[in-house]
Amino acid sequence: MGNNKYKILVIEDEDNIASFIRTNLEINNYQVICAGTCEMGLRMFSSHHPDLVVLDLGLPDRDGLEFIQEIRKSEAIPIIVLSARTSENEKVFALDLGANDYITKPFGTEELLARIRAVLRSNRHCSELGSIPGGRFQLKDMVIDYDKRQVTIKGNEIDLTQTEYNIVAYLSEHAGKVLTYASIIQAIWGYSDYGSTKKLQVNMKNIRKKMGVTPGERRYIINELGVGYRMMEE
Ligand code: CA
């Protein structure tokens, strides 16, 4: 038994947080291995081949960001970063270095499990949903038909511009995952210049308005302040 369990490497120097994560993941049928330093994490990564890494950024020997850089030279294994509430720049930096998502401390079991499930799932799908013929995405009463390039809510078509549609489709292909401003801009426009973030924000404001979402409301697309946007998932 245990062979088909996902193996998760937790790199965290605070014992109480590490054991909180271990206990909750083991209850939920994950296999867990723990490391308290970056060096130990790198060693365990190469010897145990985990399916996913939960990484604290504030480690005693080296910055967790260095772990991401090191791993991303050769491995696409999903990494979820644990970060302090106030460090928006750190989160953006970690995501742009190749982390798949982040969790803000302090966090609860449900959030931890939801992030892990989402990251493992999107890693399996390889984000090719939009390129499959007949592909559809559904989130509550919203449906995206990728062939028709059409978004409907309660069966009514939402009149989006090409750019607005591209943004919605891109976010949906990574549903559950936060995408940084820079990564969305790169995917939609292919380049970024001064004012790109503003351009993205204006498009997003129009998208939300057309979808009937009021400012500040967490529906369909969540604005992760200072970091980027996240399409919710069912
Ligand atoms: Ca720490």
Average pLDDT of the residues of the chain: 90
CA distance 208 to 214: 7
Two tokens at 40?
């130990």
Ligand 1 centre and the CA of 77: distance in Å?
A: 22
Which of 59-63, 68-72, 127-131, 174-178 has the least mean pLDDT?
127-131
Digit-coded pLDDT (tens) for 96-145: 999 999 999 999 999 999 999 988 877 655 445 555 566 889 999 999 99
- Taking the centre of ligand 1 as the mean of its atom positions, its distance from the CA of residue 168, in whole angstroms, is 35
Q: How far is the CA of 56 from the centre of ligand 1 (A)?
A: 6
The pLDDT value recorded for residue 127 is 47
Give the pTM: 0.73
Which stretch of DSSP H or E encloses residue 123? helix 109-125
Q: Is the pLDDT of residue 231 over 80?
A: yes
pLDDT band for position 4 (cuts 50, 70, 90): confident
- Rg of the chain on CA atoms, in Å: 19
The highest-confidence range among 101-105, 150-154, 182-186, by mean pLDDT, is 150-154
| Cα gap 58→84, rounded to integer Å | 9
**pLDDT score of 56:** 96
Between the CA of 169 and the centroid of ligand 1 the distance, in Å, is: 36
| DSSP-derived 3-state class of residue 19 | helix
**Do 33 and 51 meet the contact criterion of CB atoms below 8 Å apart?**
no
CA of 83 to the centre of ligand 1 (A): 9
Q: Name the pairing type of β-strands 142-145 and 136-139.
A: antiparallel
pLDDT digits (tens, 9 = 90+) for 6-46: 999 999 999 999 999 999 999 999 999 999 999 999 999 99
* Amino acid 218: pLDDT: 86
Percentage of the chain exceeding pLDDT 90: 68
- In order of their start, the domains of the chain are 7-129 (3.40.50.2300), 136-231 (1.10.10.10)
pLDDT at residue 131 in the model: 55
Q: How far apart are CA 1 and CA 155, in angstroms?
A: 46
pLDDT at 1: 45
CA of 231 to the centre of ligand 1 (A): 29
pLDDT of residue 132: 59
For residue 168, which of 190, 154, 152, 182 has the smallest C-alpha distance? 152
Q: What is the mean pLDDT of residues 195-221?
A: 92
Answer for the pair 53, 80: CB distance below 8 angstroms, yes or no. Answer: yes
Ligand 1 center to 52 CA (angstroms): 19
So what's the pLDDT on residue 190?
Answer: 85
In the structure, what pLDDT confidence band is assigned to residue 71 with cuts at 50, 70 and 90?
Answer: very high
Task: Pick the closest to residue 50 from 119, 125, 132, 96 (CA basis).
Answer: 119
- Distance of CA 57 from the midpoint of ligand 1 (Å): 7
Nearest to 54 by CA among 32, 89, 79: 79
| Residue with tokens 């989402």, as numbered in its chain | 118
What is the percent of the chain where pLDDT is above 70?
93
Residues with CB under 5 A from ligand 1 (ion): 13, 56, 58
How far does the centroid of ligand 1 lie from the alpha carbon of residue 29, in Å? 25
DSSP string across 139-175 = ETTEEEETTTTEEEETTEEP---HHHHHHHHHHHHTT
The stretch 66-70 carries a mean pLDDT of: 95
